[in-house]
Structure 1
Amino acid sequence: MSNDNFNEIIKRSLHIREKYHQLETRGNGSEWTLEEDALAYLTDAGLVGRNVMSHQKTWLKKDSAEELEHKLAENIWWLIVLADRTGVDIKEALNTFLTKTENIFQ
Protein backbone atom coordinates (compact mmCIF):
# COMPACT_ATOMS: atom_id res chain seq x y z
CA MET A 1 0.00 0.00 0.00
CA SER A 2 1.41 3.37 -0.95
CA ASN A 3 1.66 6.26 1.47
CA ASP A 4 -0.97 8.10 -0.60
CA ASN A 5 -3.37 5.17 -0.18
CA PHE A 6 -2.79 5.06 3.57
CA ASN A 7 -3.33 8.83 3.78
CA GLU A 8 -6.63 8.41 1.93
CA ILE A 9 -7.70 5.59 4.26
CA ILE A 10 -6.94 7.79 7.27
CA LYS A 11 -8.83 10.72 5.77
CA ARG A 12 -11.88 8.59 4.97
CA SER A 13 -11.77 6.97 8.41
CA LEU A 14 -11.77 10.31 10.22
CA HIS A 15 -14.54 11.62 7.98
CA ILE A 16 -16.72 8.63 8.84
CA ARG A 17 -15.97 9.09 12.55
CA GLU A 18 -17.10 12.71 12.29
CA LYS A 19 -20.39 11.52 10.79
CA TYR A 20 -20.82 9.15 13.73
CA HIS A 21 -20.10 12.03 16.13
CA GLN A 22 -22.96 13.92 14.50
CA LEU A 23 -25.28 10.94 15.02
CA GLU A 24 -24.18 10.63 18.64
CA THR A 25 -24.83 14.31 19.27
CA ARG A 26 -28.31 14.07 17.74
CA GLY A 27 -29.16 10.88 19.58
CA ASN A 28 -27.40 11.34 22.92
CA GLY A 29 -26.73 15.06 23.14
CA SER A 30 -22.95 14.62 22.97
CA GLU A 31 -20.19 12.83 21.11
CA TRP A 32 -18.70 9.67 22.53
CA THR A 33 -15.69 10.27 24.75
CA LEU A 34 -12.27 8.84 24.01
CA GLU A 35 -12.97 6.17 26.63
CA GLU A 36 -16.24 5.21 24.91
CA ASP A 37 -14.42 4.94 21.59
CA ALA A 38 -11.80 2.70 23.25
CA LEU A 39 -14.52 0.48 24.72
CA ALA A 40 -16.23 0.22 21.34
CA TYR A 41 -12.89 -0.82 19.81
CA LEU A 42 -12.36 -3.46 22.50
CA THR A 43 -15.85 -4.84 21.88
CA ASP A 44 -15.10 -5.14 18.17
CA ALA A 45 -11.69 -6.71 18.91
CA GLY A 46 -13.48 -9.37 20.94
CA LEU A 47 -15.84 -9.98 18.05
CA VAL A 48 -12.83 -10.57 15.79
CA GLY A 49 -11.81 -13.31 18.19
CA ARG A 50 -15.23 -14.92 18.05
CA ASN A 51 -15.36 -14.65 14.26
CA VAL A 52 -11.94 -16.27 13.96
CA MET A 53 -13.15 -19.08 16.23
CA SER A 54 -16.19 -19.48 13.98
CA HIS A 55 -13.94 -19.48 10.93
CA GLN A 56 -11.90 -22.27 12.54
CA LYS A 57 -15.13 -24.11 13.44
CA THR A 58 -14.38 -23.90 17.18
CA TRP A 59 -17.27 -21.53 17.85
CA LEU A 60 -20.70 -22.62 16.73
CA LYS A 61 -22.02 -19.94 14.46
CA LYS A 62 -23.02 -19.55 10.85
CA ASP A 63 -20.24 -19.03 8.33
CA SER A 64 -18.68 -15.76 9.37
CA ALA A 65 -16.29 -14.96 6.51
CA GLU A 66 -18.09 -11.73 5.60
CA GLU A 67 -18.48 -10.68 9.24
CA LEU A 68 -14.82 -11.49 9.98
CA GLU A 69 -13.71 -9.36 7.04
CA HIS A 70 -15.94 -6.50 8.22
CA LYS A 71 -14.73 -6.68 11.83
CA LEU A 72 -11.05 -6.85 10.85
CA ALA A 73 -11.48 -3.70 8.75
CA GLU A 74 -13.55 -2.03 11.48
CA ASN A 75 -10.77 -2.69 13.99
CA ILE A 76 -8.25 -0.97 11.72
CA TRP A 77 -10.70 1.94 11.43
CA TRP A 78 -11.00 2.15 15.23
CA LEU A 79 -7.21 2.15 15.62
CA ILE A 80 -6.92 5.04 13.18
CA VAL A 81 -9.63 6.92 15.10
CA LEU A 82 -8.03 6.23 18.49
CA ALA A 83 -4.61 7.28 17.21
CA ASP A 84 -6.06 10.54 15.93
CA ARG A 85 -7.92 11.25 19.18
CA THR A 86 -4.78 10.63 21.26
CA GLY A 87 -2.44 12.62 19.02
CA VAL A 88 -0.52 9.60 17.74
CA ASP A 89 0.71 9.69 14.15
CA ILE A 90 -0.40 6.18 13.21
CA LYS A 91 1.79 6.09 10.09
CA GLU A 92 4.89 6.96 12.08
CA ALA A 93 3.95 4.65 14.96
CA LEU A 94 3.43 1.74 12.58
CA ASN A 95 6.68 2.44 10.76
CA THR A 96 8.59 2.60 14.06
CA PHE A 97 7.00 -0.64 15.26
CA LEU A 98 7.76 -2.47 12.01
CA THR A 99 11.36 -1.23 11.94
CA LYS A 100 11.99 -2.22 15.57
CA THR A 101 10.43 -5.62 15.02
CA GLU A 102 12.31 -6.24 11.76
CA ASN A 103 15.56 -5.37 13.54
CA ILE A 104 14.90 -8.09 16.11
CA PHE A 105 15.07 -10.67 13.34
CA GLN A 106 18.18 -9.40 11.59
Structure 2
Amino acid sequence: MEVSEISQRSMNIRNVYHQFEESLHGSKWSIEEDALAYLTDAGLVGRLTMDQEQRWPAGNQARHELGQKLAENIWWLHVLSERMEFDLEAELIEFLEEKEKMVP
Protein backbone atom coordinates (compact mmCIF):
# COMPACT_ATOMS: atom_id res chain seq x y z
CA MET A 1 0.00 0.00 0.00
CA GLU A 2 1.30 3.45 -0.90
CA VAL A 3 1.96 6.05 1.80
CA SER A 4 -0.52 8.43 0.16
CA GLU A 5 -3.26 5.79 0.30
CA ILE A 6 -2.55 5.13 3.97
CA SER A 7 -2.76 8.87 4.65
CA GLN A 8 -6.05 9.23 2.79
CA ARG A 9 -7.63 6.23 4.50
CA SER A 10 -6.36 7.48 7.86
CA MET A 11 -7.94 10.90 7.33
CA ASN A 12 -11.23 9.35 6.18
CA ILE A 13 -11.42 7.46 9.47
CA ARG A 14 -10.30 10.49 11.49
CA ASN A 15 -13.02 12.62 9.90
CA VAL A 16 -15.65 10.15 11.13
CA TYR A 17 -14.18 10.48 14.62
CA HIS A 18 -14.33 14.28 14.26
CA GLN A 19 -18.07 14.02 13.61
CA PHE A 20 -18.43 11.91 16.75
CA GLU A 21 -16.42 14.44 18.79
CA GLU A 22 -18.59 17.27 17.50
CA SER A 23 -21.74 15.40 18.52
CA LEU A 24 -20.32 14.79 22.01
CA HIS A 25 -18.51 18.04 22.75
CA GLY A 26 -19.63 20.52 20.09
CA SER A 27 -16.18 20.62 18.48
CA LYS A 28 -13.63 18.26 17.01
CA TRP A 29 -10.37 17.55 18.75
CA SER A 30 -7.57 20.01 18.17
CA ILE A 31 -4.22 18.99 16.73
CA GLU A 32 -2.85 19.15 20.28
CA GLU A 33 -5.51 16.70 21.48
CA ASP A 34 -4.68 14.38 18.60
CA ALA A 35 -0.99 14.59 19.57
CA LEU A 36 -1.83 13.72 23.18
CA ALA A 37 -3.90 10.75 22.03
CA TYR A 38 -0.95 9.61 19.91
CA LEU A 39 1.40 9.91 22.88
CA THR A 40 -0.99 7.86 25.02
CA ASP A 41 -0.98 5.11 22.40
CA ALA A 42 2.81 5.32 22.11
CA GLY A 43 3.01 4.77 25.86
CA LEU A 44 0.80 1.71 25.52
CA VAL A 45 3.22 0.33 22.92
CA GLY A 46 5.92 0.58 25.57
CA ARG A 47 3.84 -1.18 28.21
CA LEU A 48 2.74 -3.95 25.83
CA THR A 49 6.34 -4.40 24.68
CA MET A 50 7.33 -4.86 28.32
CA ASP A 51 4.71 -7.61 28.53
CA GLN A 52 6.04 -9.29 25.39
CA GLU A 53 9.51 -9.26 26.92
CA GLN A 54 8.04 -10.71 30.15
CA ARG A 55 8.85 -7.57 32.11
CA TRP A 56 5.26 -6.52 32.85
CA PRO A 57 2.06 -8.58 32.99
CA ALA A 58 -0.53 -7.15 30.60
CA GLY A 59 -2.80 -10.13 29.99
CA ASN A 60 -3.59 -12.80 27.45
CA GLN A 61 -4.33 -10.51 24.50
CA ALA A 62 -1.18 -8.41 24.84
CA ARG A 63 0.54 -9.63 21.65
CA HIS A 64 -2.54 -8.89 19.52
CA GLU A 65 -2.98 -5.54 21.27
CA LEU A 66 0.67 -4.68 20.63
CA GLY A 67 0.30 -5.25 16.92
CA GLN A 68 -2.85 -3.14 16.86
CA LYS A 69 -1.23 -0.34 18.88
CA LEU A 70 1.79 -0.30 16.55
CA ALA A 71 -0.59 0.10 13.62
CA GLU A 72 -2.61 2.74 15.47
CA ASN A 73 0.56 4.74 16.10
CA ILE A 74 1.29 4.74 12.38
CA TRP A 75 -2.31 5.85 11.80
CA TRP A 76 -1.88 8.73 14.26
CA LEU A 77 1.35 9.83 12.55
CA HIS A 78 -0.48 10.01 9.23
CA VAL A 79 -3.33 11.98 10.82
CA LEU A 80 -0.98 14.40 12.55
CA SER A 81 1.13 14.98 9.45
CA GLU A 82 -1.96 15.65 7.34
CA ARG A 83 -3.45 18.02 9.91
CA MET A 84 -0.16 19.92 10.23
CA GLU A 85 0.30 19.97 6.44
CA PHE A 86 3.46 17.87 6.22
CA ASP A 87 4.10 15.55 3.31
CA LEU A 88 4.88 12.48 5.38
CA GLU A 89 6.23 10.49 2.43
CA ALA A 90 8.63 13.28 1.43
CA GLU A 91 9.71 13.78 5.05
CA LEU A 92 10.31 10.06 5.46
CA ILE A 93 12.35 9.84 2.27
CA GLU A 94 14.48 12.81 3.35
CA PHE A 95 14.96 11.32 6.82
CA LEU A 96 15.99 7.93 5.43
CA GLU A 97 18.40 9.47 2.93
CA GLU A 98 20.05 11.52 5.67
CA LYS A 99 20.38 8.47 7.93
CA GLU A 100 21.71 6.31 5.09
CA LYS A 101 24.52 8.83 4.56
CA MET A 102 25.49 8.42 8.22
CA VAL A 103 25.87 4.64 8.19
CA PRO A 104 28.49 2.64 6.32
Task: Give me the TM-score of the superposition, normalised by structure 2.
Answer: 0.95
Q: Which has the higher contact order (CA 8 A, sep 6+)?
A: 2
1:78 aligns with 76
Question: Shift of the alpha carbon at 1:84?
Answer: 0.8
Question: Shift of the alpha carbon at 1:62?
Answer: 1.2
**Misfit runs of 4+, over 2 Å:** none
Q: Which amino acid aligns with 1:26?
A: S
SS at match of 1:36: helix
- The answer to whether residue 53 in structure 2 is matched with residue 32 in structure 1 is no
Q: Where do residues 9-88 of structure 1 align in structure 2 (5 Å cutoff)?
A: 9-63=6-60, 64-88=62-86
Q: Gaps spanning 5+ residues in structure 1: where?
A: none
Q: Gaps spanning 5+ residues in structure 2: where?
A: none
Task: Give me the TM-score of the superposition, normalised by structure 1.
Answer: 0.93
Identity %: 50
Question: Shift of the alpha carbon at 1:9?
Answer: 1.1
1:102 aligns with 100
